[in-house]
Amino acid sequence: MTLQEFLVKAKAAGYATAGERLEIVRPDGGKELSYREGSFEYLDRYYGFNPFAGTEVVWSHGAVAWMMSYYGAVTDASISPIAVYRFLQEAMTGVSEDRPFRGPKRFVSGEYEYRDESQGDVESFTGIERIFLAGCEVYCLKYHGGLVRGGE
Q: Is residue 11 part of a domain?
A: yes
The per-residue pLDDT for range 69-82, each reduced to its tens digit, is 999 999 999 999 99
The per-residue pLDDT for range 6-20, each reduced to its tens digit, is 999 999 888 777 644
Q: Is residue 97 part of a domain?
A: yes
The residue segments making up the domain with residue 16 are 3-147
Specify the pLDDT at position 20: 44
The per-residue pLDDT for range 58-104, each reduced to its tens digit, is 999 999 999 999 999 999 999 999 999 999 999 998 999 999 999 99
pLDDT of residue 122 exceeding 70: yes
Q: How many structural domains compose the chain?
A: 1
First to last CA, the chain: 27
Q: Is residue 117 part of a domain?
A: yes
pTM: 0.90
- CB of 9 within 8 A of CB of 97? no
Q: Is residue 8 part of a domain?
A: yes
Q: Is residue 152 part of a domain?
A: no
Q: Is residue 15 part of a domain?
A: yes
